[in-house]
Amino acid sequence: MEAIHSGISAPPREPSANRVPSASGLEGVVAAETRLGEVDGERGRLVIAGHDVERLAGEIAFEDVVALLGGSTVGDPIIHRAIAEGRVLAFARLGGLGDALDRPDGMDALRAATAHLDESFATPERLAGAVAVFAAAWARGRAGKAPIAPDPSLSHAADYLRMIDGEAPSAARAFALDTYLVTVSDHGMNASTFAARVVTSTGSDMVSAVVAAIGTLKGPLHGGAPGPVLDMLDAIGTPEAAAAWIEGELLAGRRIMGMGHRIYRVRDPRAAVLELATQRLGRSGVRTGRLDLTRAVERAAEGALRAKYPARPLRANVEFYTAVLLDAIGLDRTAFSPTFAVGRTAGWCAHAVEQRAVGKLIRPDSRYIGPMPA
């Protein structure tokens, strides 16, 4: 990517001051000190590796966020090469994965395939390469096609799309995917990152941490929402139909996918980044026809949720515009959550490295509410 870089460097080594979000359900409990990122739910600010997400997304490549999270610098050729090498090495393992990639669900497939990796893959770069290769091979297999070997001369984002489509993507599509991968690369102590840190804290290995994280990301309350967001947009069809449809869902007691967040009390800053990325992709000639509908549905959902929960702000989260951006890039909705994992592997691995250095077991307490023996 061009135009990157001025002033973007690795984060300071000192641990940041930790704020504990009041709605976390674990008030007063700080699960970890981290220098990797900060999520400010009241102000809607996301800092990754010492930089605001708006400053990184669309400015640096996915490889660079892996570098920054690992304490290196933007454009570090060693990191770029190591991720490309990870793709090549992972592709060579495809024959030994048994039926792992035959699972109908992409996240099941990703979890099963990643579980086959040995410790030679236990670095952030190799795992980043492997998860992308497995996600792409699964998407190919689902379409009844053979996997395509990686091209290490391409960027991670461009090669991921090429391994799915069979041809190199336009610069605009690759740029949009890079923007997405950077945007979702890390996000504080989210559930899957927490899972990765818990696994690492036991002294277990990085592959196991990523396997646990993939299983955690799969859930619809975490990374499983963007496919259902697109289903919702399809079901609504036109901006005029949005309000009545949303009303019907709430009356039926169902949640609106892509709305609400455990930490953010304002609009998720990543929603704005991805909305802008979709707009930008549209300007390059790619069809982004769902953007108007998406905005109308967001407005309707926000209004209806405000009326139903006046005391609890429920605004668009990252998944809302993930759906419309990844759809415009040309990915099938079944590949949305695996693509989220491709990006978040950067954060999972960085947290695993950080947790390993802490060297302490994470072992939260529980409050017993059952009967006591007589």
For the annotated catalytic residues, the residue numbers are: 261, 319
The residues in 260-279 that bind ligand COA, with binding defined as CB under 6 A, are: 260-262
Which of 207, 247, 231, 230 lies closest to 322 in space, CA to CA? 230
Q: Which is nearer to ligand COA, 116 or 187 (CB)?
A: 187
CA gap 150, 159 in Å, rounded: 6
Find tokens 């990844």 and name the residue: 326
What is the number of alpha carbons within 13 Å of residue 23 lying toward its C-beta?
A: 13
Q: Per-residue x/- mask for ligand COA, residues 286 to 315, rule CB under 6 A? A: -------------------x---x--x-x-
CB of 369 to ligand COA, least distance (A): 19
Options 165-173, 252-260, 284-292, 322-330: segment touching ligand COA (CB under 6 A): 252-260
Q: Draw the binding track, 80-119, toward ligand COA (x: CB under 6 A; -: no contact).
A: ----------------------------------------
Does the protein bind ligand COA through residue 225 (CB under 6 A)?
yes
Q: Is residue 317 within the footprint of ligand COA (CB under 6 A)? A: yes
User: In 3D, which of 124, 188, 172 has the Cα closest to residue 318?
Assistant: 188
Is the CB of 47 or the CB of 305 nearer to ligand COA?
A: 305
Which ranges of the chain does DSSP label H, i.e. alpha helix?
53-56, 62-69, 77-93, 106-115, 124-142, 156-165, 171-183, 191-201, 206-217, 226-236, 242-251, 269-283, 290-308, 318-329, 336-358
Any bridge partners for residue 45, and if so which? 40
- The residue number with the shortest CB distance to ligand COA is 260
3-state secondary structure of 187: strand
Tell me, letter by letter, the H, E, C secondary structure of 314-335: CCECHHHHHHHHHHHHCCCHHH
Q: How many residues bind ligand COA (CB under 6 A)?
A: 18
Shortest Å, Cβ 254 to ligand COA: 7
Amino acid letter, residue 30: V
Does position 30 bind ligand COA by CB under 6 A? no
From 45, 93, 255, 356, residue interacting with ligand COA (rule: CB under 6 A): 255
Which of 56, 61, 136, 259 binds ligand COA (CB under 6 A)? It is: 259
Mark the segment that binds ligand COA (CB under 6 A) among 63-71, 205-213, 249-257, 274-282: 249-257
- 338 exposed, middle or buried (CB, 10 Å; 0-12, 13-18, 19+)? buried
Check binding of 319 to ligand COA (CB under 6 A): yes
Please identify, using beta-carbon distances, which residue of 134 and 340 lies nearer to ligand COA.
Answer: 340
Report the C-alpha gap between 172 and 271 in whole angstroms.
19
Residue position matching structure tokens 């307490």: 365
In angstroms, what is the minimal distance from the CB of 334 to ligand COA?
Answer: 17
Residues binding ligand COA (CB under 6 A): 23, 221, 225, 255-262, 305, 309, 312, 314, 317-319
